[in-house]
Amino acid sequence: MSELRAGSTTHRVDTTTGVPSGQAVRPNGKKVAPSVADPSGTPVVVPEDIQRWTARRRMALVLSVLKGELSEEDGARRHGLTVAEIADWRDRVLQAAHNALRSRPRDADAIKDEQIRRLRQKVGELVVDVDLLKEAIQNARSQGLDLGED
């Protein structure tokens, strides 16, 4: 294992393969979580002991997950989060990215309107399902079938 220095951070490299180990180490020996650069080019590091999750830090964590540097489970364990939180952040990033790459991106109101339309459709489908189940139960009872209800 050899070491590459980049600024104040040292990256370990496997000398047999020449592949970085994936974990950066500061001069004091502390490991550095995966990082990403913000739009201005300034690196954003996800500290191990985060008190407040800013949008920039959430983005750095999500990009680390998407790049395969960190699994959702490892990120959750390392930062005291739930896997569901990280998955939600990932889904929101991917949805925003999808919209951003459209030839005509939709504004936030259009996206919310589409979500409302889909949810109303789903509620309608569920209401129909409930009505069909109620009808089936009534038919079964009228035929004297035991439904096994307690």
Q: So what's the pLDDT on residue 146?
A: 74
pLDDT at 139 over 50: yes
pLDDT at 25 over 80: no
pLDDT at 130 over 90: yes
Tell me the per-residue pLDDT of 33-88, one tens digit each, with 9 for 90 and over: 444 555 566 655 566 666 788 999 999 999 999 999 999 999 999 988 999 999 99
- b/e sequence 71-92, b meaning 16+ C-beta within 10 Å: ebeebbebbebeeebbeebbee
CA–CA gap between residue 77 and residue 86 (Å, rounded): 11
Indicate the fold that domain 41-105 takes in CATH: Arc Repressor Mutant, subunit A (1.10.10)
